[in-house]
Amino acid sequence: MKINLINSVDDYNIVEKSLIKSKKICIDTEFVRENTYYPILSLVQLNINNKIFILDCYNKQNLLEKLTNILINNDIVKIFHDCEQDIEILQSNLNIHIKNIFDTQIANAFVCLEHNISYKNLVKKLLDIDVQKDQQYSNWIKRPLTRKQINYAGTDVIYLEELFSKLYKSLVNDKKFDWFKEEMENILHHINSKNNTNNLWKRIRLDQKNLLNIELLKELTIFREKVAQNRNKPKSWILKDKDIIFISKNNKNELYPLTQLNLHKNNKFFYLEDYEKLEIIINKHSEFKEQNKSKTNDFNDLNNLKKELNQVSMEKNISKSLIANKRDLQNLLDNNDSEKLQKGWRYTIFGKKNTKKINLN
């Protein structure tokens, strides 16, 4: 495997030559996100017509910016595996919206019952090739890069085009390509709306939503996100999800004094002065009445939906986790409040039928 290491803008001309008339490009990234809120980009790997290029973008914004026109070009398919973090970091660093993507992990979930398959396992499954992942957690911001790191990075894109070809053919043969394209747009919309602070609370796993002060929970997640961004630290180092849930389900009087919660001791970057801001938020939402018990608590209804989901998954040969998760089912039961299951391909194969059933109950 010949790998072209691109260290500067001057080296990039060989990439541009390969891009002429190319309609697809395979992409992966290597980055570090251990002690910071914002990921630190190290490499961008490209496979263009089976030519492998590794762009060393660490502290080289001018080199990274050379990719802008490719990424926003709707006529070029950008092939990823498990694309979300790659797209997030590229869009964040370039201040762009990437267009026309193909995620091999999602494509696989449309044509079989597996979900979230790794790149290594998908290559083995479809190509019968063993991929080594021994450098996955190496130090990607240390220079110079080792030969092992460079080879590993190249391997992460070398098989993507073959995976694309096989999965594209399967999607077309199964008449699922339109659903898949719709899902790619859904993913891009999801990534692009992550900056909408009103949606942050939805990422927290909630078992009994009716027992929580949802408005308080929403504002606490916004508070945590902003503090994490300002301090450039992982948000779990500011407040853990369990802290936010605990505060959101307890009476104001039971929480005071707030210092008894020991948030400053249990979270590395929650400071004593943060209690004052927290108190303002809690006081703002002190009036809380437990919501009426919703249909989500009806064990039988939820079980019936799970059975229906399993059946649809088997009939359509689509991963059930791709169609819906437990939270989606609960939201559907809870006054049909599930945007995900009430539009598009999911509504066609699952939501439409089951929404009617719920309305009849």
- The whole-number pLDDT of residue 241 equals 95
- Span 19-57, pLDDT tens digits: 998 999 999 999 999 999 999 999 999 999 999 999 999
- The whole-number pLDDT of residue 336 equals 55
| Residue 43 CA, distance from chain mean position | 19
Of 108, 54, 49, residue with least CA distance to 77: 49
**Backbone phi and psi for residue 260, each to the nearest 5 degrees, phi listed first:** -65, -20
- The whole-number pLDDT of residue 358 equals 63
In whole angstroms, what is the distance from residue 12 CA to residue 19 CA? 11
Q: Which fold has domain 3-192?
A: Nucleotidyltransferase; domain 5 (3.30.420)
Helices 352-360 and 326-333 meet at what angle, rounded to 10? 40
Residues of the chain with pLDDT under 70: 208-210, 287-299, 335-338, 356-361
DSSP 101-141: EEEHHHHHHHHSS--S--HHHHHHHHH------TTTTS-TT
pTM, to two decimals: 0.91
| 3-class secondary-structure state, position 320 | helix
Q: What pairing do the DSSP bridges indicate for beta strands 40-48 and 101-103?
A: unpaired
Per-domain residue ranges of the chain:
3-192, 197-284, 295-360
In whole angstroms, what is the distance from residue 347 CA to residue 71 CA? 31
- Span 176-228, pLDDT tens digits: 999 999 999 999 999 998 877 877 888 888 776 657 888 999 999 999 999 99
What is the DSSP secondary structure assignment for residue 142, as one 8-state letter? S
- The whole-number pLDDT of residue 290 equals 54
**Backbone phi and psi for residue 339, each to the nearest 5 degrees, phi listed first:** -60, -35
| 3-class secondary-structure state, position 290 | coil
Question: Which one-letter amino acid corresponds to residue 89?
Answer: I
What is the DSSP secondary structure assignment for residue 84, as one 8-state letter? H
DSSP 244-282: HHHHHHS-HHHH-SGGGG-HHHHSTT--TTHHHHHHHHH
24 and 73 Cβ atoms separated by less than 8 Å = no
Helices marked H in the chain: 13-19, 61-64, 68-72, 84-94, 104-111, 119-127, 147-158, 160-173, 177-192, 214-231, 241-249, 252-255, 263-266, 274-284, 299-316, 320-323, 326-333, 344-346, 352-360
Q: What is the CATH architecture assignment of 295-360?
A: Orthogonal Bundle (1.10)
| Residue 232 CA, distance from chain mean position | 20
Q: Hey, what are 63's tokens?
A: 């080199």
